[in-house]
Structure 1
């Protein structure tokens, strides 16, 4: 029966290998979107769709500023860069400069509706009854030099209100100007900067696009004339740097972890058999985990790959517990397996429970980590249980006397009454450290500090924004209504609440509501045309023109969208019932928030603050997962040890969980959601160690030595994550490092109780 199951497991493993090979034939599908690691907001679909639209629109575009002291060189290199990226299939040119045809279509769309279009200053004058001022202004434009008036325009727009409206349209401010078809600016040091706006051919988190874009820009830099500078601005550049760093760290951590395991196994067992079989267990765990993730998710997140590198140190535990029996007198592989199998099963169950709780988090990236690790552990477990007894030829051997003395000393520390004072000192030290650390403990829920922004890119972005002359704030307003016309009316009410503040873009500033258009037409007729048109025509000698029929309907946002020329306007429309209002970074955002509070249907949205609040909420939920995981483990442990024994087995884990954040606080590391999630795994691993100690009634040094080896390999894997440059990963790794070390020290304390379990 066991051989049949071993063959069946081999078939399944080979199927997993074939699946991974087929999927990765043209490259492993990897994700690098850091936002996938973050939770989705609960409940408010409107706000979420607005955020997705705003962030998506920004992410799909990128900007490169090409600078040189010679204008011609800067322009030629900018053209070459745009052409090079387009030919490489990376990006197509953006729409920084509207074409003449787009501008003409825009004017043709606006002009028939000119009767209802008024600049805000003109409207205020008419409301104040000062139509004479507008008539006087029109006269000065007619007789002034270079004015916008010509006979055809005057015949249809005698007071030149339409040019005034167009000049008042709040186009995004910028230091850039159109120079022979290209947006450029000249800096104070004489450098000419030309902007190359790019529309990406794929999502900015596609690794293939990131690599091609980085390669093309690197090649451009290498072949560039002397003193040419490139400034990058866009999500894709940060995503590429993060993905490259994450993949590099995953490879380095995996290599160091694997090398450490190999060296450790060879030094301890001095035989190739444990090394080969342990490597097989690790490889099977990794390939089955990868296959499961690809089946369930279709791709693998870089974070799952990074955390999966730490799986090596956990998956090897089962092999080490098995081969640890070589230091006893058990020669028969079946007998060795029988001795450790109950502990392996309970350990796997509690570990998988921990990973399952990790998978309950609303983070798609962490769900992949949970699936990857849970399936990987199960794969390693089945390899040990089904294959090792058939392949194990390792003879018994003696444990090194010094090693045996050291681990026996740890047994005696917790088991013998003569070491009571030492135990009290250890407990007092842990309490003191916990108290001091708790006093210094700080919580960090700012997700911006959970990722690493490359300093060179941050500096380039700041300089690019200075040169361009404006920057969009991350915050924005959402305006909702029962119809699109009501949304426009509420945007107009928002404009009144904001007063004279500038730097905000709303659809209603380009397309007034139908109600406002009708009011404007009546206002022009009563306050300007009726009292002033006849005398005005007489003064300039303008003959009366036949009245034009009004347009069949008011101007609508869809009309401008169809005309083109204002592409940024489309980004502000979530749907017919929801618009966004973009804000410049230089605005007093708190004043904007206060002004918006009094306008029905308008909400101030701060994605960063919302995300920080969510991380706080989910940090609390992660701590609740700890309680859930412990509660689910208790019945399993009680089945083996009784309820009192189950509490004793969990006690070392509880102490480790309590002390770990406090110890890290002494080193200046704040507690975050990612540290809380690591504690879920610490609970599982600490319980695993306690189970193996509880299973050994004789306090055999070989048992505790196997636990030590498991601890060492776990620290070589998850502990190395503490060296990551990504704060979220670093917090996870540091928590695992301290928590697992404490778990090993405290695990033998369970031997203070005698268990009513069969002796083997």
Structure 2
């Protein structure tokens, strides 16, 4: 029987090796840039959004995902001009950046609008034509006629309405100036340069290549200017590159730190190179399988998943450590020992995988990625230990001083005191923890998933203010049955926005109807202009002694199809959704200069308009995070009840000894978070769920294997490495991962310390019976 069994084990091991190698080879393309993702919103569910809102979000994101905007400023235009040209020249040969030409030239845009210009008026022009007396308008027009440099076609536009319409729109952004795109501000002029990123910024080499290229170009710009220049920059690629660089550092810190800690513990316990190499092999296979499985299931791997997955090293080593601890204590042959350990190891795998898979209960793509990564990695490490260790291990490690000390520490561990002393300690602990719980704050903030450099965020905010960039996270969605009804509904909304801007509630907006008025408004404006110009030309004809004829009316009115085909519409095309994404027609109105007070006013404005919806993605995601935090909180309580019932069935009245340490550790952890000022979010609640899955094993051990030095050694080493792994995760710059890691660091350490305090004082067999 021995030889057939050996062959069977060898066949399984070979199949496992081929499966892991094939999956890893298939997913080698993971390391390609397109397979990595750093978009925070990709972590969150989008099922709550209807098709039209999802389309709007996609359109708004497409226009900016690869663009970078750089502003160079100085008090004096001449050195600024020299510096800006040197900046652009240095980046001409940069393989990762491509300079973007400015938007459609003003001349080309004016030519495209020329046939329809008589139907285009600004709000102020329209109001002036309605309010001013014909005599006053005629005097103004005649003053323009006799002014130096009067236009030769004065009769076609005596009031200069067309030029005024263009000036009103040109004033909303940078304008061409001596071959550059310039913008005036209270602190002086700025030159605006736009670039498009080539390739992907998700290079996990720890370097910020795009930022380095911009820094080199800025150094050349300052040298050419001969004076210090101001610089602002903004763009999704810069945030993505910063996230990739940060993730590279954190993966190295957490992954390598965990690996070194595990290997150090293995060396101290076994003082042999073979356990170190084999445990390292199981960890390597586990992490590789986790990456490959995640890329295979989801097509992409989020950077936060990699950072989270780096902590897997501190959990996956448990199986190898259990094997070598038992091998060290009794010296059994590898294959019989593995058969004896297999039920316990399989149970440990099942509880850990179930704990990780609970992350997938909430419909969060990011959490599901983390669950798949961890479950696949643990399963791969487990199978590597079970299938390969019996063949690769040839000699049992000799007990070391460290392993003997750890194995014998259980006998020296203090128990929770009985009587008055135990009650006093419990009351004191309850007081300290209770005060901490009262200070614990709850935070459901989308920004907890971001870790962009503060200087980049500050630069982007200032650049957005100068360029009047609207927010893509908060906007109006306007819907109607046909294109003209849509434009009329948008015009009504924009009229209300004018009042909010006049009151200081809003800085501005971007709307298609400002450049594509409805046909009814074009006709009304053309009639208003025709009436005013008829009176002006009649008076001018009398003054000049010649008959002046008004310009002819347009043959057609500007419509959506004509406007969309014109190059001048390119910046606003993403706002025109048309018939896509839902019934009827839709468009988006973006807003500038939003504040918490203005968002409340804008939400009320939408409530009074049936064709307008206020979309606040930030508030929606915060509400979603709050909902799932509460739902997972109740799930944690249900899990405690279910685990408690299972323990009662196994251990009877002694079940509390296994459950109480984990419950106490979870409560104390929440109190400590309150004392430390770390808010509780969804990830903190999920940490409590994982704590139950990991921590309950220590209590079970004390009831199942009372006094077993090999098992106690394995549990101590496993708990120490798991605490270290999640402790390193607490170093993450991402607030959500920081609170998650800190919660598990405190929780697992406390369970480890508390579980022996509640071990039974008499034989387990009597208690179980």
TM-score range, shorter chain: 0.7 to 0.9
Partner of 1:217: 214
Asked whether the equivalents of residues 722 and 732 of structure 1 are also in contact (C-alpha less than 8 Å), the reply is yes
Q: Is the 8 Å Cα contact of residues 329 and 396 (structure 1) preserved in structure 2? A: no
Calculate the TM-score normalised by the size of structure 2.
0.86
Distance 1:218 1:335, change over 3 A: same
State the Cα distance separating 1:669 from its structure 2 match. 0.9
Label 1:483 to 1:83 Cα distance change in 2 as closer, same or farther (>3 A). farther
- Deviation of the 1:377 alpha carbon: 0.6
Does the C-alpha gap of structure 1 residues 253 and 2 become closer, same or farther in structure 2, counting only changes over 3 Å?
Answer: same
1:659-718 residue CA offsets vs partner (Å, 9 max, x unmatched): 32222111111111121222222121112333333321x432332232111111001211
Pairing 1:326-345 to 2, within 5 Å after superposition: 326=327, 328-329=329-330, 331-345=332-346
In 1, Cα distance between the equivalents of 2:271 and 2:203? 45
Indicate conservation of the 8 Å contact 1:331/1:396, yes or no.
no
Q: Give the 3-state SS of the residue equivalent to 2:379 in structure 1.
A: helix
Change in CA separation of 1:363 and 1:666 when aligned onto 2, cut-off 3 Å: same
Residue range with higher mean Cα deviation, 293-302 or 258-267: 293-302
Report what 1:195 is aligned to: 192
The answer to whether the 8 A contact 1:204-1:210 is kept is no
1:60 and 2:66 aligned: yes
Tell me the distance in 1 between the aligned counterparts of 2:219 and 2:537: 66
Deviation at 1:611, TM superposition (A): 2.5
Instruction: Please give the alpha-carbon distance, in whole angstroms, between the structure 2 residues aligned to 1:750 and 1:90.
Output: 62
1:519 equivalent to 2:524? Answer yes
| Shift in alpha-carbon separation, 1:282–1:260, aligned structure 2, 3 A | same
Q: Which runs of 5+ in 2 are unaligned?
A: 502-506, 580-584
Instruction: Give me the whole-angstrom Cα distance separating, in 1, the residues matched to 2:652 and 2:481.
Output: 59
Where structure 1 has 5 or more consecutive residues not aligned to the other structure, the ranges are none
How many residues align? The count is 741
> Over residues 185-222 of structure 1, what are the superposed CA-to-partner deviations in whole Å (9 max), with x where a residue is unaligned?
578888x6432111334566677999542342244356
Q: Secondary structure at the match of 1:310?
A: helix
Q: Distance in 2 between matches of 1:251 and 1:281?
A: 18
State the shift of 1:251 in Å.
0.5
Q: 1:436 maps to what in 2? A: 435
Distance, in Å, in 2 between the alignment partners of 1:79 and 1:378 is 57
Matches within 5 A, 1:571-586: 571-576=574-579, 577-585=585-593
Single out whichever of 198-207 and 227-236 deviates more from structure 2: 198-207
Distance 2:267 2:204 in 1: 38
Task: Supply the distance in 2 between the matched residues of 1:405 and 1:288 (Cα, whole angstroms).
Answer: 36
In structure 2, the partner of 1:618 is: 628
Shift of 1:391: 3.4
In 2, the alpha carbon distance for the partners of 1:625 and 1:133 equals 74
**Deviation at 1:281?**
1.5
1:374 matched to 2:339? The reply is no
Normalised by the length of structure 1, the TM-score is: 0.87
Q: Is 1:150 paired with 2:148? A: no
Contact 1:319 1:384 in 2 (8 A): yes
Superposition map of 1:111-122 within 5 A = 111-122=114-125
**Residue 629 of structure 1: how far off its partner (Å):** 5.2
Decide which moves more: 295-304 or 32-41: 32-41
- Of 304-313 and 651-660, more deviation after overlay is shown by 651-660
| Contact 1:89–1:201 (Cα < 8 Å) also in 2 | yes
Equivalents in 2 of 1:377, 1:44: separation in Å?
37
For 1:385-425, what per-residue CA distance to the aligned partner results, in whole angstroms no more than 9, with x for missing partners?
A: 22223333215647766434422233x626xxx75666545
Preserved CA contact (<8 Å) 2:727 2:742: yes
Instruction: Look up the match of 2:504.
Output: none
Answer whether contact 1:233 1:460 (CA < 8 A) is retained.
Answer: yes
2: CA distance, partners of 1:120 / 1:492: 11
CA distance in 1, matches of 2:648, 2:92: 65
Deviation string 1:539-597 (CA, Å, 9 cap, x unpaired) is 34553559846424x31244333222353322322335222222221777244444443
Paired with 1:723 and 1:26, the residues of 2 have a C-alpha distance of 26
Counterpart among 684, 697, 705 of residue 688 in structure 1: 697
Cα distance in 2 for partners of 1:122, 1:185 equals 25
Q: Distance in 2 between matches of 1:188 and 1:550?
A: 41
Superposed, which structure 2 residues align to 1:37-56 within 5 Å?
Answer: 37-40=43-46, 42-56=48-62
Deviation string 1:472-519 (CA, Å, 9 cap, x unpaired) is 345332222222222211121113323442622211122111121222
Instruction: Out of 510-519 and 136-145, give the one that drifted further.
Output: 136-145
1:406-421 paired onto structure 2 within 5 Å: 406-410=409-413, 413=415
Cα distance in 1 for residues equivalent to 2:763 and 2:571:
73
Give yes or no for contact 2:652–2:767 (8 Å, CA) kept in 1.
no
Shift of 1:267: 0.9
Tell me, yes or no, if the aligned pair for 1:326 and 1:397 is still in contact at 8 Å: no
Could you tell me which residue of structure 2 aligns to residue 93 of structure 1?
99
